[in-house]
Structure 1
Amino acid sequence: MIKGKNIDLRLVTDEDLEYLYSVTNDLSNTGEYWPLMLETKKSFLDKFAQSGFWNDNAGKMLMVDKEDNILGEMNYFRGLWYMPGYEIGYRIYRPIDRGKGFASEALELFIDFMFRSKQINRLEIEADVDNLGSKRIAEKCGFKVEGIKKQASFLNGRYRDIVLLALVKEDYLNNSK
């Protein structure tokens, strides 16, 4: 477990599976910018059985409050095969829990963990250009805009532009001293 001031990050447990399955398949909570995806329960449980949602190529940690109530998730996955790092995603599940600083704190904790525990040099975040909240969280945590990927995402029936933000280890270590 990674302990923060207001939230903690922890791996998924067997006890979390029923709630996680229901919240990740509840499209009314996805928000405006999270992809609309459904997954069968069998596929979801198979993925957990294989790796516990954590391996060298991809992983999921839960954001929990100090009473261990699940607030959201932090994800990482290998992007392009030649990229010396990971892409990161984050999400607060329930609208009532958004805008309270949980994702910012979780991202700060997660960045520190990733750079200190893995032999990587770069983290990336991709967000819809209109997702100003996600962009603000990333920039607050040291990510810099590197460019726009034109029509790189399909969301809600149309192609959308994506902003690419990145943080390299050297910049992170220089700014975290």
Structure 2
Amino acid sequence: MPKVSDEYRAARRDEILDAALRAFSAKGLDGASMADIIAEAGLSAGAIYGHFPSKVELLAAVAQRTLGQRRLEIAARQQEGEAPLTPGEVLATVLRGMRAHFDTRLLVQLWAAAVTDTELGATVRGPVRAIRETFGDAIRPWYLVNYPADEVEARLARDLPIMMALGQGFMIQRQLFDDFDEEGYLAALPGALPH
């Protein structure tokens, strides 16, 4: 039997994640079953379960991949300018990327489900911590330029939960209110956070 290459496994994994995201977007987190994801992918159950033993693990992998894409966007933006991005610019970049490349309804459903489902809650905490770390890594250069080095970590610890809440507020409001001014919100972020 020929050995499967790492590139092939990675491509198959991405194919499964794309199918899962389509199934979750069409039927919601609770409505989409592993059978739906298998059908959407057009692969065998063994091919899916060989990569992801459960729907919860699939959800976590979709979240991790999405976060990785946002990291790349932040890095690209950081390279464009001479000065480090402000916290508001980082958050606006992430939210624009999420809005463009991810069904943000899924995040709202995921957060709500994670409150009552302990297994899901435990799984979600990892990606949420990774989001906080991503924000911290992305805004640390700006803090190092604007604050004494011995204050940076304390200020980050104070401001990161606020950034998270502003991001979650954006996601929730865009789902709840037809008249929510997304562009106005994103434009206001740089002034709402330290600048």
TMscore range, shorter length: 0.3 to 0.5
- TM-score w.r.t. structure 2 length? 0.32
Report 1 or 2 for greater relative contact order, CA contacts < 8 Å, sequence distance ≥ 6. 2
- TM-score w.r.t. structure 1 length? 0.34
Question: Which of the two has greater strand per residue?
Answer: 1
Flag the structure with larger Rg: 2
Question: Which of the two has greater helix per residue?
Answer: 2
